[in-house]
Structure 1
Amino acid sequence: MPPKKQIQLDKKISEIIIVNNKKLAPYIEAVNFSSRNIDQRHLGTILGIFEIKDTSKDSAYIVNFLASVAKKTYFNGKRKTVADSFEATLSKINLSLSELARHGNINWLGKIDAVICSIHNNQINFSVSGDAKILLLRNQKLLEISGDLSPKDEAVNPIKTFTDIASGRLEDGDKLILTTDDISHIFTLSELENNALSFSNKKFLRFLKTALVNELEIAGTIIVDIFKKAVVPKKTISPNNKNSKKLNAFSSATFKKTLPKKEAILSLEKDNSRENISPKNNSQRKNPSDKILKKQDDFINKKTGHIYVKSSGEKHSSAQDNQFENWITIFQEKLFEFGLWLKNRYLHKCHYNIKKYFFPIFTNTHKKILFLFKKTISNCLHKTKLFFRILSKKMSAKSIKPKIIIKNISFKKASPIDTVKKITDNHQSNLKTKHSLKIKSNILNFAKKFFFTPSLIKKILPHPKAMKAYFKKMNHRQKLYTIIIISMIFILPLIFLKLADKKQSNEKIIPSPSDNDSQNALIINPNSTHHTDAKQLYQDKQNLLGVFTFNGNAFTISENKLTKIASDNQQDFLFPDYFGKVTSYSFMNDLNLLFLLDENKKLISFSPISRKFKNNNISIPGNANISAIGTYLTYIYLVDIENNQIYRYPRAEGGFGEKTNWLKENINLKDVSSITIGDSIFLLNSNNSITKLSKGKLQNFELKIDEDSTLKSIFTNRNSSYLYVLDNLNGEIILFDNDGNKINFFSNQNLTKAKNIVANKKGDKIYFITNKKLFQLKGDFLK
């Protein structure tokens, strides 16, 4: 029976050490060490991060010194248990720090953040100092498990840098995050929990690394993922106590050929019985080696006296044979891997080429068959018509014409009553047309008698030759007056017609006097069930271009600044001097960054945390016309209406990396005015339509809206399952699901003037802007 697999806990350790400024590299160090010595494997792995916030020269080497002390002390062979080794390591680090303080190096006191832990199987021991933290994600909840371990009086006594030790057991699916306090400047505990649950382990690691690189100068984090692993125990050969016997190296069985199992056992028993002879008979026993030498003299070298023993006849494999077998297995594995690579790389291309070259052949043959079938049917019909024509000549009945009968022939089985009805209907229609022609001729005769006819016009107007003679007899003044009068007769009616058309067009285009943005706007009934109150939060002197939210606060975007709208006051952040007029913007929730694009295709970012602007590198094609930008995770999407393409850029150090053409189909983007991204990409077009895209392809999506709607803005995000749509004409914000079904709507008179809308992450607060005002809708929108 094969041995059963044993399930054990295993771990995957990932380090993230960020140092954007090379001068800060000596002030942070990570520890991740497991001993290769068999005697020390029971101690597991020691992990830790040491960071000093003092950047003086005296503090530069301390973190490296503490990391080496931790490694050497923990894996010292004198201690046998994990707990003893971990406790000795912390006391040794405290003693080392006290020695530094005793020699006058005290700049690091109160400025060290350190976390250290040991993991062996499912057992963990840990301790922290300063503002460092250990977070545990278990059962979809992220908790800080090192809350009360850090001492408060570490600046007074360096011996108490590490004081308390905590221990516990790990479970399958746990995620440990060992980090310094720097990560709390970017993410809250709830944001880290949401991202850790929504991403896979690899994507979460990449996301965290990207955020730390772009936001912090120095940071350290270690992530430990715990998972189950099946282990096959190694086979151990245990001796069989029943059959095992002590062998005598000097017996005759040593030089005999190998025997079958039963014969070998019998020979061993005989040899043992000889050894057990009493001492009296022992002197009479002959040496068995002498007998062998006598019988096998050929095996003695007479010069040297060496004895050579022949092999027992078994086939033993040499080292060359074993190496050859290894080469064969390696070759088979490589051949199998090459087959998989070839299949994955070129199978799709072969499949595509088969479709491309062979499918048209089959379709052409199919078309030819259809053409032949239609041709045969038309020939049959033509012959039947000829047959009925011949019959019609022989028919004596004059009331029914055979041509009408042929026209009414069809492949459907019709009753004789239906055929008679069709014939009578055709006959009545012919009579009606004849009657209408008689009426038209009578009207023309009546007009000829009482209205102008060509002959009557000839009698009234003079002949052209006579008109020329009259014109020649006139003087210059008379000629001028006649030309002016004739021109006025033809020109004045045209001028009056044009003026009338302009009046009609102006009457249609003139906006309502209340507001230029709300043309033909309806008056919203405040007593309706869907009416919601709107609270004015802010009014600016400049025109507002956009709005976004962060941590419960709204920010407005105007021509040259950002404004934070808080309950207490407002705070302005002016754009950098090198930045031009804003054309598009988008807020990236995963990195808490606002991206702004100006008319010169320059991209900058604004962090609401650090409250600073930063230039971002991005390569936009020279002939591109960017109408809108959107963000998803750590990607930015740019809509190019000139080249009918959507570009996707991944986040990189200092900005964004190389673009990829995201669209995989030819879609007309000329009318796109806005973009919003959730689980899919939604594009708002100027013709009151919304396009839904997924994975670069067009999706079937039809928005169920009223015919008299005017769509001005759309909004959604990754955490929302709704699409918010602003209808200016009806003064409404409408909620749709991802399939375009109308869920709910809310109305307010100020929405007839709104330009842009945005909702917070939960979706319970909706903000909108007019030309110079910011409003917030009140109500429970998700019920």
Structure 2
Amino acid sequence: MRSRTDSRSGKTAPAPLEKNFREIVVGSGRSQEPYIIAFHYASDNVSGQSLGTLFGFFEVEIHDADAAYIVNFLASVAKKEYFANPRRSAVESFETALHKINVALAEIVKHGNVSWLGHLHGALGAVSQNTLNFSVTGEGEIYLARNETLRSISEGLADTESEPHPLKTFTEVSSGELFDGDLVFALSPAVWSLFSPEDLRRSLNRLGPAGFEQFLRTALVNELPVAAVALITCSAPVELQRSKEVKAVPAKPSPALDNVWSDAPFNAAREAKQSVKAAIDAAPSVEEKRGGYTDQKTGHIYVQASPDEAFEPADNHWKERWMLFQHGFETRLRAWNIASRKASRRIGKESALAFGAAGARLSLLRRAAARKARSLKRTFEENQAAKRRAKEEAERVRAVEALLRQPEPEAKPIITAPAETIERAAATSIPSEESDLATPASDRVRRFFQREAQPEMTFGTEAKERLNEFGKHLDRLRPALSASTQRINSAVRGRADQIRRVALFLASWVSGLWQALSPKEKWSVIGVASIVAAIGIIAIIRTEDAPLAIQDAPATPEEKPVTTVFPPADEPLATLLSGNRIVFPTNNSRSVVLATINDAAILCTERAVVNLTTQKSVTTPEKLRLAAGMDDLDAIFAVGESDTLYLWSAVTEKFEKNTLPLPTGANISAIGTYLTYLYVLDQKSGAIYRFPRAEGGFGTATTWSKESVKTDESPAFAVYENILVSDDAGKPALYTRGRNANVAFSMPKTSLSTDALAFDTRSGDIIALDRQEKRIIRWSATGTLLGQYYHESFGDIETLSVSADGSELLVSKQGATTAWRIQ
């Protein structure tokens, strides 16, 4: 074999071997092709020939639509990355290709394709000069045959103990030197269901490389539905020997013939033929050698075995049967081990999914039971109140009936009474301010009939019925008056509590400001306050001395008072909230979003980000118009008025710019986050884009919506496991997997106008804000109406969210944030 000399070390290096690459791929029909591939690739350019050849195989055990053609994708990624930069060394290019494969698999997982995890097997190698670099994953293996021995060179490279992770698919790399006569082959795990390593070694030594390849191809095609083998045969290059100088050999003198027409040559040929025939006749026949005979009648030759060849020794027979039994047992045991490992992995994944689903189901049932209990309690209280009202009404009806059953007085003629009697009757008929309003109307009517008769008045049955009807109207108004009184009292109590809290906050602020002043500044403040007080006293004295100019008020027509009921009595599940809790006073800046980051409530306004737990705020780099929290990264992403994307980290409490590659012509109307994805609503095109998280920002967008999204002028937008959008009619619309789920939401009786939307991440409930009706509405994930919460301050809310524990509703206006208990 030729050799070459290394100019740097001066040592003689062997010449490159000749490598022959071949693949064996078995797939029963075209349905198996997307799940297995074996390949070898060389560079298409002369500059990349120094990198050698890339070879290997990939196989996915799970045959479903999500796992189809992953193997082809991985093979193309490996080829493209390995030969991308010819100036890199072979080892560096191979490691870069493995890293690129891991990153590509991680991107596949990000898109929800996880069925192949734990079911991917593969082997990848690169041969450059006489050096082999290789790595394996799953149950793929690489074997080396050298000097009539066969051993696995990939043992321990694949991590089969830990949980599968896409970034840990290829973890270890090994390398070695190839020599003349070496045979390297990568095997898929299905091959071991037919052969053991010892079987392959014996077959290779008996048949040679060419015969072994044909034997392996025939066995796999005939016995297995899916399998793959990649082989490399190494041999020394063929050297052409230089032709040596040919020495002149003296020619033998040809026999001279006296007469060319004589019969001497014919006699010599005849004698040679006779000598050959005599030699054949003298040789013993086959049947004589083997002790056989020839049947003269049929001409058949019968060969008889010798006594020592008649039967094989018994020990050889039983040894062969034992070897066959041992081979079959080892084959079945190996197949059972492979099947058990696959079953254990599958059972572990299915059990984890089952337990997760069971836990989620139990959580849903628990929340449903709690909501049912609250509903039953509320229904029970309403029934009790209805029974009390019915009982009171029945008592009043019985009292009126008893009054009507009394004998009617005789109709009296019209009596003209003197003026004194008329004045006295009028004085007794007009109730004073101190009269008892709780006296039933029927009693007042009865006393009225017992008084003196008025002039020009006839007391009969018709007058009595009219007065009774008037008394019933008064009785019906009494519950409404009592309910209004209760609402007024609760509003006064809530306003007093709020005033008290604001007063305490102002007092603490003034006290802290006073303590921070120096003594000189304190005396200056006292002097200014004294001057202001003196000026105020003088102004008051002059005002008291000035004559009051009283003008006659213009006559206005008498207006009837309009009584409004809040909340409306006919609205189902309507509740008037009271007793709110002030979380943050105000910062005089429009509230953009309320988010929960690491179980802490964060308020983002146009000018600041405030941690509502620590009351610490950070000023924004510019005026913000949109924002959304990403709990998985402990961050808030915000869009400024210049359409710049900012990231605010809850760890560093700083802002930094991020990249957001919007599609051409796209406009950001609203944003939301889920996991590490950013969702952008483009109201102009009616599309929702999804951006994956990348270094320094987000990657290329994909269109999440599979149909046009119709929204109103100022769309409300919320993202969790699904996406909520307010449609062109102002009602909430739930989108799942890019399409409108057409959830039938139970609508209130008063028309709904959706101004903001939110998810309760604990229960999956849907929250909507209606500023026009000053209410917040709650639905279940299936659209069932769970409650309506009213308050006068809800008409000015800018954003809302549900607390981390789901017990409070956080609302904010101009940075002023309050919490309302909704359970």
Larger Rg: 2
Q: TM-score, normalised by structure 2?
A: 0.32
Relative contact order higher in (CA < 8 Å, ≥ 6 apart): 1
